[in-house]
Structure 1
Amino acid sequence: MAKLTLSDLYGISFTSLGTAVADWKDMVGRLDTLANSARDHMLATSNKARWSGENAGVTRDFVKKTAEEFRDAHAEAKSIWNILEDAHTELAKIQSDVKNAVDVNAKDLGIRVQDNGDGTVRCFFPHVRGDTDERTQQQLDEMRALESRVNGLIAHAEEIDDSAARALRKSHGNDVNDFGHSTYDSLDDAQQERASELAKKSLRLYKEGKELPEEELAELAQTIKYNASDPDFATAFYRDLGQEGALRFQAQLSLDGSAEGGRQLELARTIQDGMGVALSKATPRLGDEWTAELMRVGRSNISLDMVGNQVEPRGYQVLGTLLRHGKYDTEFLKRVGNDMIAFEREDPGAWPRLDGRYTGMPNFGLNLDKDGGGGFDPITGLLEAYGHNPDASTEFLRATVPGKQDGVPTMTNLEYLMGMGADGKGEGARQWIPDVAAPWAQEGDDKVFGKDALGHALEAAVTGLPYDHGPSGEHPKHTPERSEIMESVVTAVAAKPDLMHDRMADSLGRMAGEYMPEINSSLRQSNNFAGLYGSSNFDALATTEFLDTLGRNPDAYAEATLGAENYSASLMSDVVKHPDQYSGTPGENLKHISYGTGTVEGILGGARHDEIVTGGQLSDEEYNKKIQERADMFNSVFGSTVGFATERVPIAGEVINGVTEHIVGKVAEGAERNTAAETAHEAGVSSFDARKNALEQANAGVIIAGTPKGEDSLTLHRDVDTNTGEGYDHGKELQREAKDHYKRNPPE
C-alpha cells in the first residue's frame, strides 16, 4: 500500500471532506426524523391495530423490523459522521502544522525540506555560494528536530487516515441489505477499540506459541503512539485489558523485542513508551480500586504464557518499565511507590533476575529504552517517574516506609536509597546491583542504572522542577521540605563522598547550581552581606567538602561551575538594576558577589587539581570536554533566579538570556584554553588558568550588569578582579582545610 507523502499532505484540499462531513450531518438529522416517525407513527399504529389472521403476525414483525432498521440507519449515519468530522478536524490541523513547519520554521532556520516519496522527509542546509557549509551543533540539532517533527506529523496523518477508513468499514459492515453494525461516538473510540482488539489478539497468539504479525504490530504501535495522551483512549484501553493483562502483554512484547532486535524491537519500544504515557493519563480516572488491584498484581509473578519461557517477572518489574514515561499523578505514585519500597524491604529477593540460560543475550530485558538497564530493577523506573513529578518526589524521599518483619530498621526513603541507612553509616540501606542480562554478577558498578534515576528524583525533589524541564521562568521556592533534602544530601556526601555515584554526579552538580544562594550564604565571611543570599542551614565545612566531591567528577564539576557563574552574573545584574532591594551600595555588593563566587570556584578548582594530580583517573581534557557538553545544553535548558533562598526572584527574560549565553560561552571558551596533559606540572598550569578564568568571568558579569552610578568603571573592574582572586585563593584554602579535617576526623 502506498505511503502518505509530504506532497500528498501538503497539497491535498480537505474541502471535499468538509463537504462530506456537512452532508452526513444533514443525513443524520433526516434519518433521526424518519426513525422517530417510524417509531411514533408506523410502529405505534401497528402495535395498536387489531389485526388477525395469518398475515397479522408477519405484518406486525415486518413493521417492527422496518422501524428498527430506520433507527439502525440513523445510528450508522451518526457513527460515520462522527468519524469523518474527527478525521477532518485532525487532518486539517496536521496539514496546518506541516505547512507552518515547511513554510515558516524551515525558512527561518535556512533549511530545505525534501520529500523522500516514502512517507518521510529529509532536511538539509542548501549550499550557498561563498558559504563554508559549517554548522553549529545547535543548528544541526534544530535541523534534526524539524525533520523528526515533520516525519511525525506525516505518520500521524497516515494513522488517522487508516483508522478512519477501518472504522468506516466496520460502521458500514459491507452489507447493503442491513444497517446496524459497529457504531462510534468519535474516531478516538474506534482507535481505542482497535488497540484493545490487537493487544488481546497478541495475548491469545502467545498462548499458541505465535506472535502478532508485524503489520498488525506496526498498526498497534502507531495507534498507541498517537493516542496515548488522550485520557479517554488510555482509560478505556487499560480497563479493557485489565491490570494483569496489560502487564503480561507489555512483558511479552518487551522480552521478544529485546531478544529479536530489529524492527520488532523498534515497534515494541514505541508501544512501551506509549503505554507508559497512557497509564499516566488513565490512573487518575481508573480509581482507587483499580490501583489496589494493580498493586496486588505488582507483588505477584506474571505468567507470560510464552512457549519455552523461563522468566516470570513480578508485576512491579513490568510496571517499572512503564513508569519511565509520562507524568504520573501524585497520589498514584505515593501508593505504588511506597508499596514497592515496602515490598522489597520485606523480601530482598523480591525482584527475580535472569540466570545463565540468557548469557548470550546481553540486551534481553523488560526495559526497551536505549539506556537505563534491563528493567529487572523496578525501582529505576519508579525513580524516573518521581523525577517527572517534583512534589511527589519531595514527599516520597521524606517518607518513612518500614518493612513489616521484625528487625527491619526504620529510615526515610532518601536514607534507604542513597545509602545513609538508619544509622547514617549504611545500616539497612539498599544494596544496588547491576541491572543487566546474565551474568549480571560479573558486571561493574557502571551498570547500576538506578543511581542515575535516583539523581533525577533528587533533582526534582529539591528544585521543584522536573529534572528534564525545558526553559523556565520563575523557579519554585526552596521550601523547608526541599531544603531539608538538599541539606541531607550535602551532609551525607560530605561525610561519605562515595555516596555520589558517577551516574548521579551531573544531577548533584545541577542541584548545587540551583542552591548557590544557600551555598554562598554558608561560605560568606561576613554578615554584612547576608541580605544578598538569605539565610542558610548548610554547615560551612560540609558545604566545602560537598563542593570538593563535586569538583573531583567532570560532570559534577561542569554543572556546578556553570551554575555558579550563571548565578553570580545574574545576581550582579539584579543588584545594579534594583539597588533599593539590597543593603549596601551596588559597588560593594558587586565586589562581595565576586569574592563569594571566587570562593566557590576556588573549592571546585582545588578539587579538580587534586583529582588530576593524585587521582590519575581523568585528564584535564576530560573535564573540559564535560564543560563543553554541558555548555551546549545549558542555554536552552536552564533559566536563572536570584534572591533569598526562600524567596526566589526571577530575572527579566531579556537580561537573563544575555547573561546565560555570555557566561556559559566564557566558561566553555576558557575550558578550551585549559586543556593540558595529565602531569603534575600541567595540572598546576590548569589550576592557574582556572583562577584566571574565574577573574575573567567575574568581570564579564560586571560588563553585563553595567557600571553603577557613582562608580568609576576602571576602579570597579580592578576591585572585582582583586576580590575574585582573593575569594578563589580563600576557596582553595577552605578545600585544603576541609581535607585535612576529614583526614584527622574521619566519619565513623
Structure 2
Amino acid sequence: MRERKLQDLVSVGVLAADVSRDVIDEVVAEYGRQARRSDGKLPPHVVVYLVMGLALFRGEDYEEVAARMIEPLARLGACRSGDPVPTASAITQARKRLGPQVMREVFRRTAVPVADLLTGGAHLGSLRLVSFDGTTLDMPDTPSNAGAYGYPGSAGERSAFPQLRLLTLIEDGPRAPLAAEIAPCHGKGSGERTLLAGLLDYLEEGMLATADAGLFGFDLWCRAAQTGAELLWRVGAGPELPKVKESRDQPADGKRLDQYKDLQKHLSLTLANATQSASPDMARWKFEMLQAVEKPIGPGIGVSGYVVMSNLMRAGDYEDDFLESYGRNMLAREQEGVRDGRRREQIWGYHGGGLWPHLNSTGTDFGFDPMTGYMKALSNSPDAATAFFNAEFIGKDTENNPFKRDTDGDGRKGHIGLSNFQYLFEERNWMPDQDSEGEDSIAGKNYLAAALEAATTGHPAGELPTPATAAHTEDQAKLYSEIVKSVSEVPSRLADNGFMSDSLGQISAEYMADIHRGLRPADKNEDLLYPVQGAAAKLGEQDLTRFMYVVGQNPEGYAALTVGQHAYTASAMEYHFAHPEAFVKDPRYSPTQNMEIAILDIAQNAGEIQGTLGAGRAYAAELDAGNKDAEFNDAITKAGELGESLVGIGVGAATASAVGPGAVVAGGVAETAAGEIIGSLTEGLMRDSSDEVIYRNGEEIQATRDSTFRLVEKAAQAAGDQAGTPSPHIVALVGREAEIGFGGAQDRIRDFVDGVGVPKALEKDK
C-alpha cells in the first residue's frame, strides 16, 4: 500500500508539473466554467486533473482513480486535504459541466516539444524530428459512443466496441504528442488524410516531418511545404497527382506548376539535409541511395535512376562525400556508354517512342539530362565541385577510348586522357532540352559554368567573395588555369555559349592578382608586386589575351572583369603607396622612386586588361550594329556589389592592414581609393575636382581608351591621398603607362587572336 501511494505521488506530481494549475485556471476562465462558491461541486481544475488521471491509470474505474489522486493533489495544493473521494456519478456530471473544449485547449497549450539536443532520436542535425502517427481506440460500448463513432467492420461483421480514429503529431525521441485529431472509424471524412489536414498548421520551420505512404496527398504535401518545415514522406505506388497538361502543346496550369516547383524544392532540401547527418542510419541510407540510382525507374525498362535523383539535387547543400561519390558513379556510367558508342539518350534510358518524362518544374529545362541537375548541386557545394572537376574522366590508354587530338602539331591525332572538366566543357554533347517557354534550354552548360564558379572560388555560385574565400587552394588555382587555357585553345567553347561568361567573368575578377602576374613578362619578385593569398594560378599572356577577348564580348563577363580590374588596380596602388619599398628596395633611390616602379607596372597591366576587354566589347558591338551598348553599360552599373566585395578583400594576405577587411571596419569601403573608384564607376558618372567627366556610361560613354587612362590616373591620385603620400609626378606618368599597356593589348590581339574578328575602332563619341 505504501509503495502504491509513493507511485501515485510521483505520477500525479509529474502530471501537475507538466500541466500547471495556472494554465488550467486561465482556460477555465476563458470558457466560463468557473465554479460557484460553496456549491459543493468538484472544482473545474480538479476535474481536469481527474480526466487526465483516467488516461494515466487506464483500466481502473472512476472512483479508484479519484482515490489515487485526491491525496496527492491535496499535498500539491490542488484541492483540500480531507475532501471525500467523489463518486463516479459526481465525476461524470463534473465532466459534462466542464465540456471537451477546456480539455482540448489545455492540451494545446501544454503539448510542446520537450526534447533537448541530447535527447536520443530527437534531432537530425539542426532539425527537430516529428512524425504523424495514427491508431484506433476502443470506446465504451454505450449508445452515445455507438452513435458518435460507430462499429467498424466489413462483410456483415462488426467490432465488439465502437472505435475512434486518432492521428497525432509526435515529437520523435521522447514520443511526446504535439497535436491530435480524432474522428469516427468509418464514414465520410473519417480517413487519416482528413485528420492530417487539421495537424499541418502545427508544423513549423526547423522541423523535419515524416509520414507513411497512407498519408500522402499532393495537396496536403503542398500545404505542409508552405509551413517551412522540411518533409520526408513515403509515397505509395502510383500516387495520384494532378494533371498539369495534356501534352507539350497545351499550356500548363500555372498554379499547379508552382506547387510542383515547391514540391521539388522541398524534396531536394530535405534530402540534402539528410545527407549531412553522420548517424549510422543515414550512412546506410546514403549507401543504399547510391545503389538505387543504378537501377531504372518506371514501367518497363524505365529511365535511369540518375535522371530522377539529379532533378532532386537542385536545391540545398548535399554532403560532399555523397555528392562526389554520386558524380563519380554517374560519370563512370556515362564513360562506359561513350566507349560503347551509345548516345546520351540511350545511356540514360530514353529508348524512343512516347513522351519523355518531365521531371523538373523550375522552368529552366524539363530534366531530361541528369548532368544538368547534378551541375546545379555542385554549384552549391564548392569543395565537392573542386574535387569533381579535377578528377579523371578517362585515361589515355583506356580500352575503346574515343577521344583523339593532335597534341604535338604533327598532323596526327592520338588518344588523350581527359579530366571531368575537360570532358564536360570541351567534349560532351549535351542532351537537347527545352525551357518552359518552348525555347532551347541553356540550363546544362549554364549550370556547368556555375559549378565551375563554385569550384574555383570556394563559395557557392552567385554569392560574393569574402576574406574567407580569398585564399585559393592548389586545386582551385589549377582548375582556373585549365579554364583559361581551354578557352584560349578553342575560343568557340565560350564564344558559342556566351551565357557562361557571367560566371567566368566573376571567377576572373577573383583571380585578378593571378592575371596581373600572368601578363607581366618577368616573374622576379612578383609575389611582392602582386601578392596572392594561397596558391597562384599559372597563366600565360597568350592564353589570357584570348580568354579575356572572348569574355569581353558578353556584357556580364565584361562588367565583372572591368570592375574587378579597377578594384584591384586601385587597391594595389594604395598598398604600394602605403608601403613604398614593398616591391623594390634599392638604397640608391628614394622610397618614392622605388615605389614608382610598382605603380607604373600596375598601370601598364591595367591598360592591357582594359584594352583586351574593350576590343572584345567593340567586336560584339560591331556584330550587333552597336545595339548592345546599353546592355554593357547597364551590366557595369549592376556590378557595384561585386566591386565592393573585392575591395573589402584587398590585394593579398600581406596587405590586409592597408586595404581589405581592416579598412572596411575602420572607415568603410567607400573611404578606400578602390572604393572611391568602384563607386564612381558603377554609378555611371565620375567627375574629378574640376568637375571634368572621367567616366561616362550610357549613350555618352567616351572611348574605352580615354576612360581607362583617366580612371588609372584617378586611382593613383586617390591611392596617394589615402596613404598620405601624394605624388603628382607618379600621377602624371601612370596615364602614359596605361596607354602603353592599352596599345600592347592591340598588338597581342593581332598576334594571338587567330581567325577572330578584330574591331576597327572602339566606342565613338556621339
Q: In structure 2, what is the equivalent of residue 735 of structure 1? A: 749
Correspondence 1:627 to 2:635: yes
Query: What amino acid maps onto 1:220 in structure 2?
Result: W
CA distance in 1, matches of 2:750, 2:252: 54
User: Which among 662, 668, 681 is matched to residue 666 of structure 1?
Assistant: 681
- The whole-number CA distance in structure 2 between the counterparts of 1:325 and 1:334 is 16
Which of 371, 374, 390 does residue 366 from structure 2 map onto?
A: 374
Q: Are the aligned partners of 2:505 and 2:560 in contact in 1 as well (CA < 8 Å)?
A: yes
1:79–1:171: 8 Å Cα contact kept in structure 2? no
CA distance in 2, matches of 1:290, 1:633: 41
Aligned to 1:350, which of 343, 347, 350? 347
Deviation at 1:550, TM superposition (A): 1.5
Structure 1 letter corresponding to 2:739: G
| CA offsets 1:159-187 (integer angstroms, 9 cap, x no match) | xxx999xx977356689xxxxx9999x95
| 1:324 correspondence with 2:314 | yes
CA distance in 1, matches of 2:420, 2:104: 55
Shift of 1:277: 1.2
Q: Tell me the SS of whatever aligns to 1:457.
A: helix
1:339 to 325, 329, 335: 329
Report the secondary structure of 1:260's partner residue: coil
| Secondary structure class of the residue paired with 2:650 | strand
State TM-score, norm by structure 2.
Answer: 0.62
8 Å contact 1:558–1:623 — kept in the other structure?
no
Q: How far apart, in 2, do the equivalents of 1:524 and 1:717 lie?
A: 21
Work out which of the residue numbers 253, 260, 263 in structure 1 matches 2:252: 260
Describe the shift of the 1:397–1:710 C-alpha distance in structure 2 as closer, same or farther (beyond 3 A): closer
Structure 1, residues 471-515: CA drift from partner, whole Å, max 9, x if none?
634434111111110111111110111122222111111111111
Given that 1:598 and 1:726 are in contact with CA atoms closer than 8 Å, whether structure 2 keeps it comes out as yes
Larger RCO, structure (CA 8 Å, separation 6 or more): 1
Aligned partners of 2:517, 2:558: CA distance in 1, in Å? 20
Q: Are residues 1:524 and 2:515 paired?
A: no
CA distance in 2, matches of 1:476, 1:271: 36
- Distance in 1 (CA, whole Å) between partners of 2:245 and 2:57 is 58
Aligned equivalents of 1:493 and 1:635: distance in 2?
25
CA deviations over 1:551-583 (Å, ceiling 9, x no partner): 233332222112111222222333334557555
**Percent identity over paired residues:** 22
Distance in 1 (CA, whole Å) between partners of 2:435 and 2:301 is 12
Pair 1:283–1:672, CA change in 2 (3 A): same
- The one-letter code sitting in structure 2 at the alignment partner of 1:728 is F
Question: Deviation of residue 400 (structure 1)?
Answer: 2.0
Shift in CA distance, 742/608, structure 1 to aligned 2, threshold 3 Å: closer
Aligned partner of 1:533 among 530, 533, 539 = 530
Question: Conserved in 2, the CA contact under 8 Å of 1:322 and 1:381?
Answer: yes
Distance in 2 (CA, whole Å) between partners of 1:336 and 1:473 is 31
- Contact kept in structure 2, 1:356 and 1:439, CA below 8 Å: no
Counting only pairs closer than 5 Å after superposition, residues 272-283 of structure 1 correspond to structure 2 as: 272-283=264-275
1:394 aligns with: 386
**CA distance in 2: counterparts of 1:499 and 1:22, whole angstroms:** 75
Q: Which residue of 1 aligns with 2:425?
A: 418
Query: Please, what TM-score do these two structures have when normalized by structure 1?
Result: 0.63
Q: Is 1:291 the counterpart of 2:286 in the alignment?
A: yes
Q: Which residue of 151, 170, 183 corresponds with 2:180?
A: 170
| AA partner of residue 486 (structure 2) | A
Contact kept in structure 2, 1:536 and 1:645, CA below 8 Å = no
CA deviation after TM superposition for structure 1 residue 287, in Å: 2.1
Shift of 1:384: 1.0
More helix per residue: 1
Amino acid paired to 1:303: G
Partner of residue 477, structure 1: 471
Write 1 or 2 for the structure with the bigger share of strand.
2
CA deviation digits over 1:249-307, x for unaligned, max 9? 69988888996322111111112112111111112335233223323432333327xxx
Whole-angstrom distance in 2 between the partners of 1:21 and 1:467: 53
Offset at residue 313 of structure 1 (A): 3.9
What is the rounded CA distance, in whole Å, between the counterparts of 1:196 and 1:723 in structure 2? 69
Look up the SS of the partner of 1:407 in the other structure.
Answer: coil
Q: Secondary structure at the match of 1:170?
A: strand
Does residue 612 of structure 2 align to residue 603 of structure 1?
yes
Alpha carbons 1:570, 1:641 under 8 Å: kept:
no
RMSD: 5.0
Question: Could you tell me whether the CA contact under 8 Å between 2:111 and 2:179 is conserved in 1?
Answer: no
Map residues 25-424 of structure 1 onto 2, 5 A cutoff.
80-81=108-109, 83=111, 170-171=180-181, 187-188=202-203, 196=211, 200-202=215-217, 212=218, 217=219, 219-228=220-229, 230=230, 234=231, 237=232, 240-241=234-235, 260-285=252-277, 287-303=282-298, 312-347=302-337, 348=344, 349-352=346-349, 365-371=358-364, 373-402=365-394, 406-408=399-401, 411-419=418-426
CA distance in 1: counterparts of 2:332 and 2:708, whole angstroms: 48
CA distance in structure 1 between the aligned counterparts of 2:540 and 2:560, rounded to whole angstroms: 21
Go from structure 1 to structure 2 and tell me whether the alpha carbon gap of 1:192 and 1:254 turns closer, same or farther (over 3 Å shift): farther
**1:358 CA drift (Å):** 5.6
**Contact 2:574 2:722 (C-alpha < 8 Å) held by counterparts:** no
Structure 1 Cα separation of the partners of residues 632 and 605 of structure 2: 23
CA distance in 1, matches of 2:254, 2:514: 50
Q: How far apart, in 2, do the equivalents of 1:300 and 1:439 lie? A: 32
Residues 493-547 of structure 1 show CA distances to partners (whole Å, capped at 9, x for unaligned) of 1011112222211111111111111110011144466112246521222122211
Secondary structure of 1:469 counterpart: coil
Structure 2 distance, partners of 1:635, 1:643, is: 13
Task: Give the corresponding residue for 1:435.
Answer: 433
Contact 1:612 1:618 (8 Å CA) reproduced: yes
- Aligned position for 2:576: 575
1:146 is aligned to none
Question: Matched residues in 2 for 1:34 and 1:449: separation?
Answer: 62
Q: Is the 8 A contact 1:255 1:366 kept in 2?
A: no
Gaps of 5+ in 1: 1-16, 47-61, 67-72, 87-161, 176-180, 203-211, 305-309, 420-428, 677-684, 744-748
Residue 513 of structure 1 aligns with an amino acid whose one-letter code is A
| Conserved? CA contact 1:631–1:664, under 8 Å | no
Q: Which sections of structure 2, spanning at least 5 residues, go unmatched?
A: 1-19, 28-44, 69-87, 93-99, 115-167, 171-176, 186-194, 338-343, 403-416, 586-590, 686-693, 758-766
Tell me how far 1:723 sits from its aligned partner.
Answer: 2.0
**SS of equivalent to 1:367:** coil
Q: Deviations over 1:28-72 (max 9, x none)?
A: 9998888778899979x99xxxxxxxxxxxxxxx9xxx9xxxxxx
Of 669, 677, 702, 1:656 maps to 669
Deviation per CA, 1:171-212: give whole Å up to 9, x if none.
56689xxxxx9999x95599989873688544xxxxxxxxx5
- The answer (yes or no) to whether the contact 1:509–1:555 under 8 Å persists in 2 is yes
Q: Contact between 2:205 and 2:227, CA under 8 Å: does it hold in 1?
A: no
Secondary structure in structure 1 of the residue aligned to 2:430: coil
Q: Which residue identity does 1:351 align to in structure 2?
A: W
1:622–1:191 CA distance, 2 compared to 1 (3 A): closer
With 373-382 and 625-634 compared, the bigger mean Cα shift is at: 625-634
The 1-side partners of 2:567 and 2:545 are apart by: 20
The whole-number CA distance in structure 1 between the counterparts of 2:752 and 2:263 is: 51
Q: Which of these two proteins has the greater Rg computed from alpha carbons?
A: 2
Matched residue of 2:703: which SS? Answer: helix
Equivalent position amino acid for 1:478 in 2: H
Q: Distance between the aligned counterparts of 1:468 and 1:190, measured in 2?
A: 25
Contact 2:578 2:723 in 1 (8 A): no
**Whole-Å separation in 2 of the counterparts to 1:582 and 1:339:** 49
Q: Which residue in 2 is equivalent to 1:558?
A: 559
Give the deviation of 1:389 after TM superposition: 0.8
Cα 1:268–1:660 shift into 2, 3 Å: farther
Number of the residue aligned with 1:495: 489
| Shift, 1:76, TM fit | 9.4
Separation (CA, whole Å) in 1 of partners of 2:182 and 2:241: 36
Distance 1:716-1:320 versus aligned 2 partners, 3 A rule: same
Cα pair distance change 1:396/1:484, threshold 3 Å: same
